[in-house]
Amino acid sequence: MVIIIYLFLFLQDRFSRHRRQTVDSTSSTVDKNPGNRYSYNGESETARNGDRGNDTTLIYFITPTYPRREQIAELTRLGQTLMHVSRLYWIVADDRPDCSLQIMNLLPDFSIPYTYIASPMPSIYKHNPNAMPRGVSNRRAALNWIRLNHNINDSNAVIYFGDDDNTFHLDLFKEIRTTKKISMFPVGLVGEYGVSSPIIDKGKVVGFFDSWASKR
């Protein structure tokens, strides 16, 4: 009986919170560009006005994602990592026509400044598996949001593309902040080689060590 009551109270709390946040999120969802829909949390002023008095490099962490069974679980894992990173702005770009209520309910749990964008792949590509640009519309939508909203007087910022199914060590973000122009980082446990990495010669990228190189 105690377990049943606890479960009922837990579900009741989650449901009421879901309804409340759904209203808040949908009321702040606006059309900025054809085909894209946006949902903000209340801290997006960090991107527009900068963080005065803070010299730490701002990281725009762009995460392309798409609807699937594991989507919420993987975004939860990623969000619980990003919540430990200072001065980070999370842009979640979803391959769907409208913002998901589940994700709008999830993102505020991490107390991270974020923007959630519904950025579906153009239908012209969906029926051609040989020319399917996966994640391209998501990344383009996120970059466009930054162009429209970033404070142009704040040059102390860097963009990083981080997939939702990857795991990130917190030390990586220290490396990301050192970026001056372009940085590339190896990724472990990928493909037959076990690692995907740029090949560096005299400080320049001259190739890639990747078992899927022909497709990239």
CA 179 to chain centre: 19
Task: Report d(CA 109, CA 82) in Å as an integer.
Answer: 12
How far is residue 19's CA from residue 14's CA, in Å, rounded to a whole number? 9
Q: CB atoms < 10 A from the CB of 166, how many?
A: 15
Q: Round to whole Å and give the CA distance between 71 and 46.
A: 27
* Strands annotated E in the chain: 30-33, 36-40, 58-65, 88-94, 114-118, 157-161, 187-188, 195-201, 204-209
Strand 58-65, strand 157-161: pairing:
parallel
Q: How many CA atoms lie within 13 A of 96 on its CB side?
A: 16
Confirm whether residue 165 is marked as ligand binding.
yes
SS3 187: strand
Pick out the residues of the known binding site for Mn(2+): 165
Pick out the residues of the known binding site: 165
